[in-house]
Amino acid sequence: MADLERHKGFMKYALKLANNALHNNEVPVACVFVYKNQVISYGMNNTNDSLSGITHAEFRGINIIWSKLQSMTPTPGIALQDIFKEIDLYVTVEPCVMCASALKQIGIRNVYFGCGNERFGGNGSCLKINQDSTTSENNYKSYPGIYRKEAIILLRDFYTHENTKAPVPKEKKNRILKKDEFPPLIWSNYINEMDFKNFFGVDKLWAFEQNLDLDDEINNDILDSQNINIDDIIEWSNQPLPGLNKRRKT
């Protein structure tokens, strides 16, 4: 069984980034990449500010990792794909089809996410890119439901306000932020029963069988408007990859 508290700790960083994005009028989707138990990269959606449909959190985080790898001295016996096979992604919302494909191509190890992406999800909601027959050697497992309600609330918060950068801004004066109603979590869309038991534990199988969240309570500290300082995450992302040597300047 996995150390769920450790995974929840990394997801908290992703949610803090998403909260920061929300307070900067950006779609609150964010992620952190973890290598050897350390945050090495992060990403926040930038589609509103950039007006580009491809500046998703995952792509921005991957770009940081590539930049780091280019600045490293090659390590004998270690190929780039070997490094990605030890990197895990924690993202607040299920990767879209585009991002799910990119993650598969680089050979990510595992993906952990908060809520599903009903319209564009590539890890089970719409397609299972992570488990399809293309480049099957790079298939990865995807674990949903970690702080799902918090991820949903951040998204709802964004969509209760008018997005002035939308092609056709919608009137949203009467929209109410709902924090007590959530759709069922259809675990089997993303993970089979055996993988669920191995990761979350047999004692939590009731959640899988009844399509329920693991936690009833909402962690309001995550959603607090003061929980937006990301200086620590930026600092970690500026550090070299652990165990690898940074190339000396000549």
State the sign of the Cα–Cα–Cα–Cα dihedral 51, 61, 179, 231.
negative
Question: Which position among 5, 26, 58, 209 bears the catalytic label?
Answer: 58
- For 122, half-sphere exposure in the C-beta direction (CA atoms, 13 angstrom radius) is 17
Tell me how far apart the alpha carbons of residues 161 and 175 are, in angstroms, rounded to a whole number: 8
Q: Give the sheet arrangement for strand 38-44, strand by strand.
A: 38-44, 30-35, 87-93, 110-115, 141-143
Tell me how far apart the alpha carbons of residues 154 and 166 are, in angstroms, rounded to a whole number: 18
Let me know if 235 is a catalytic residue.
no
- Kindly list the catalytic residues: 58
